[in-house]
Structure 1
Amino acid sequence: MLYIKTNNYNCLKVFSAGFTLLASVTLLLCNSAFAGSQSIMITVAKGFGLSLYASDIGDAKQMAMGANGTLFVGSNKSGTIHALVDSNQDGRVDKRYVIAKGLESPDAIAFHNGDLFVATENQIVRFVDIEQRLRRPSRPKEIYSDLPYSEKKSSRAINFGPDGRLYVSIGAPCNVCEAPVPYSSIIAINVDTGASEQIAAGVRDASGFDWSPIDKKLWFADQGRDWMGDNLPPDEINRIDVIGSHYGFPYLHASSVVEPAYEKPKNLKITLPMYELPAHVAPTGLAFYRGSQFPDIYHNQLFVAENGSWNRSSKVGYQVVMLKIEDQKVVSRETVVSFLDGEFPVARPFALLSASDGAMYISDDLKGNVYRLFYKGDSTEETQELEENE
């Protein structure tokens, strides 16, 4: 039996039992908002454990891990960046700091060479030597000011590549439209000189991307357009083989859904997805597992956070899946954690981070939690206690 107490739920009891393929975890909500002790379900793949690492983060978005183990979390609506510290390494946060507040949509963050980089609505700033200054961060320094600004916010995600450049995805400012460059693209920036290069075009909404540990190629998830029905268009998993490739938006969605509002230029060559996800699962986070704590079958495999549907007659997504890759092709999709109980979402996983401790961290922009996924072995029922993190 697991007992969870968070800032979001006054009482959250978890009853755990192992099954052949999945370990089903039942949670009993006991606060006044859920009168009658409504029970809900979180499903975790056999052998895995899921713990509450931190709570009350606002709408927790992209994460970054510092060299000393500090977990940084950006929050879009609150305009804050949190720094979470597990000083005794027991798998729970015991110190937290607000690095910045009042920023404009600071949900995209990355850590590199001791510094924290943050993409706001129209610029990228740098917090120098951040882990040494958690109590009193230095004033951020602007390193890039050419991000496009739109009244309808376009998505952002940032991460450092193997070449040392900062990669930035800039989503479309619309459901479907022909937007000017650099919208609907992925660019790479030299953070010392400010020089940038377009890496990919025709990308609608790539909130998550990562590089394969095997061949160092960039993979990214792209969310399809809305209002084409429950099952169209599929969401996408893409790989960049050729710099400057075009991935279809807004002319072609996934591999075969032609956009009726815009005609593809005659000579435009479109790169098709490596894999298609069900429509509206909303893949917002993507990470290759680089640790050794999970079993071998998970090593170097691609994990995807499906944030979940919002305009579909029945809900899909709200889970973390593993895409099994063989010979650089996706051959299967397996659920590792499901936060959807029927039509009730317990969480909306947004970003994933494969950490040096072997665990995988999951941000939840529904309840403002960060979960820690770890492997505990093929054990039967066991008792764990997850308490509220201050």
Structure 2
Amino acid sequence: MAFLTPTDLLHRLFETAVAAADPMQVLPRVLGPRPPGRVVVIGAGKASARMAEAVESLWGPCEGLVITRYGHARPCQGIEIIEASHPVPDAAGVAATRRMLDLLRGLAPGDFVLALISGGGSALLCAPAEGLALAEKQAVTAALLASGAPIEQINTVRKHLSAVKGGQLAAAAFPAQMRALLISDVAGDDPSFIASGPTVGDGTTPAEALKILQDHRIEVPPKVLARLRAGSGVLAPGAFALSRCETVIVAAPAQSLAAAAALARAEGCAVRVQGDALTGEAADLGAKLARMARTYASARRPGGAPLVLLSGGECTVSLRENPGLGGPNVEFLLSALRTLDAAPGIWALAADTDGVDGAAEVAGAVIGPDSLAKARARGLDPAAALAGHDAHRFFAALGTQVKPGPTLTNVNDFRAFLIL
């Protein structure tokens, strides 16, 4: 800590966590040599274009198509990169998904498909189930995102309204051999929820999806209701059409937290990893972890090593009417700021590892012991910003946003408290 300010250290911890999940670093360790015969590369997600770039750096030009978020494309030699909308799907994603399915149809047993899947794929890989239009998928997705439903519930609904999720992408390639490489952005790293599990079977039912919509008081369009009552194309685990598909997680939140922890220890800090799968309402979790940080600070011996508290996972935000510009990481941090109440010796950073937190091209923000006083001096009201879900504007005015741009990976939220 002799040469790093607290804010500098927090930024470096975040950058290290992101670098640990860079596809250019992780794919060479798992990819192996290029298979003989025809090879087709497909993919979807915020990291998928970077994953495709990594594949071609090792295998050379490949046939294929990958769908990523607007602004996340990478230069590839043979694989076509298409950009589409996230988190609510758009027509570009639907058209690209149809082309991907056309590419997979008619493959032979000797052909090989490499699927590159990461967080964001649920929106980007979009093929409405029979009888549904894109507008109906968009309406349901937007309502679920605003409801504060956890991602597992959101993706359960998405699967049963899709012709490509819940193992259906892998089934489209059968009888070709498929290997799916996944970068996890979900708590617990369950492959069936990463991008809504396009290459793995699923045990949920359309009735469960309908109950989720009803529990969150979401108005269900008539055609969506009819689709769920009629069933879905989701494949059960162990389905024969999935028998030639191997799914492997190549990067996950735990690895990124471990990399950040190693850096913190190298800088002379003690480290406590509080978990890589912490979830819940952002404001509630921010207050909870801030109280824990205050407890650790009060118990710390004078002159002792600095302490870093690390955690990952995914927060949710239940939006009220007329929300401002915010996201779960900055809402977490704004709640933590209020709870810390200018407690001395405590700094914190919360940011999304994909570089985008909620409704802005901003990853998150940083706070310190003087942040509350600086905010009040600028006429900023933390309570009003929190109530209005307007945390991005709050931290923009405070000047402490974390803005790395597209990171080209996605291993969920990263949070760090530094106690001196």
Q: What is the TM-score when the length of structure 2 is the normalising length?
A: 0.30
Q: For the pair shown, which has the larger CA radius of gyration, 1 or 2?
A: 2
- Answer 1 or 2: which has greater helix percent: 2
Q: Determine which structure has the larger strand proportion and give its number.
A: 1
TM-score with structure 1 setting the length = 0.32
